[in-house]
Amino acid sequence: MTALAVGVSHRSAPVAVLDRVALDPHATLGLLRDVAAGEHVTEAMVLSTCNRVEVYADVTRFHGSVDEVSALVAKHAGIPRDDLVPHLFVHYDERAVQHLYEVSSGLDSMVVGEQQILGQVRAALRLAQEAGTAGRLLNELAQSALRVGKRVHTETGIDRAGASVVSVALDEMAAALGPGGLSGRRALVVGAGAMSSLAAASLARAGVSDLVICNRTAARARHLAEHVGGRWVPFEELTAALADTDAVVSCTGAAGLVLQLRDVAAAVATRQGAPYVIADLALPHDTDPEVVGLPGVVRVDLAALAELPATRASEADVAGARAIVTEEVAAFAAGQAALRVEPVVVSLRARAARVVEDEIRRLRLRLPGMTDQELHEVERAMRRATATLLHAPTVRVKQRAADPDGYRYAEVLHELFDLDTAVVEAITDLQVDPPAGGAS
């Protein structure tokens, strides 16, 4: 296994850097293709979300591939490489697997336990499959990460904190609005993704008098508005919508600012200091942080919400999730190690089968009077005996493969049975072809 993970996230870089690194879908595909074309890269996948850009690759050289991938991330982000490198993280082999498992489980999210990341990992794998850059290793790694993420959310309560982010944000908004909270207020939701949808539904339940959905894709805005009993406006009318509301929830995942300072300033200009609350649930943020200097404006963002006790996962849930990840990383590593010795095992069995076939041919010549039924019974007995003799060593070599020096067991088998090196190499070459099928 030669898995490599290189990237930048909210844990390794400040928001200002994340704002610059954020990639749109076109840039993400461009980065993916450039990484896959690298001299030391055989497979590639790019996970690009609102708070991370991470490259996963199967590589032939560590240092050379790290240099290649780092330079390409900087190039596509439009940042000088020397400025970006201090904020990059690099993981290799089992640590790369562990990192992706932690990401998929929500352990590496700003708000621990959020579930959106599972869909984002699935989308990253699908893009790599469609681009032809995901082979056996990354297909297995990403699909196992999705399974691990689902297991963590099923077997622990870690997602309770992630699900509470919207409700806590709305509580903060209600408190800032004063008596009556959100009831009877006008509310605007910018975006139509999972978190925006949850916010819209929560606002409707809170009793807002007018609920407006604004999104770049009109069809999604219309669908969400119909679902929550609100109305929608085209994205081109966002500025006007800002001026006709009391509370804004924004979570678009856009690469740049969506709510500009000048637009918010125009919206609150006639409010004479009346409370105007913005919940910015995007990262990088949708709203210019300078809006907090405007009269009556209160801004709640994801970073602040992540510090509140109500959005923190319990220590027991985090510990349970980490235990699952540790167990699954060991299982994945053992599986990959077993795959590395599989060519030797297959070659050994093939050699044994050839020996049986040769002996049966000799037997036919020496004992021409034997019936086909008798020969068949002899052959079956020989194959059973051979399978019995080979069972223990082939099972043991797979079990030992995950040990630090496990490869030596395969070498010993190779040497003792004088296996055909060309056959072993041919089997190995066949195993690097990407499997059919999509993400689970």
What tokens does 61 get? 């050289």
**Are 110 and 283 a contacting pair, CB within 8 Å?**
yes
247: part of which helix (H) or strand (E)?
strand 247-250
Q: Does 50 participate in catalysis according to the annotation?
A: yes
Buried b / exposed e over 348-364, threshold 16 CB at 10 Å, is beebbeeebeeeeeebe
Of the candidates 326, 325, 345, the residue with the CA atom closest to the CA atom of residue 337: 345
Determine which one of 31, 46, 47, 50 is catalytic. 50
Contacts of 295 (CB under 8 A, 6+ apart): 268, 271, 272, 273
Cis before 435? omega within 30: no
What tokens does 353 get? 């089968």
**What is residue 79's DSSP assignment?**
-
How far is residue 189's CA from residue 224's CA, in Å, rounded to a whole number? 10
**Amino acid at site 307:** E
Side-chain half-sphere of 68: how many Cα atoms within 13 Å? 26
Cβ neighbours around 21 below 10 Å, total? 26
**Are 105 and 148 a contacting pair, CB within 8 Å?**
yes
Of the candidates 362, 417, 356, the residue with the CA atom closest to the CA atom of residue 385: 356
Cβ neighbours around 211 below 10 Å, total? 23
How far is residue 179's CA from residue 175's CA, in Å, rounded to a whole number? 8
Of the candidates 174, 49, 57, 56, the residue with the CA atom closest to the CA atom of residue 114: 49
| DSSP alpha helix (H) spans, 90-244 | 94-105, 116-131, 136-155, 159-177, 194-205, 218-228, 238-242
**Catalytic residue positions, numbered:** 50
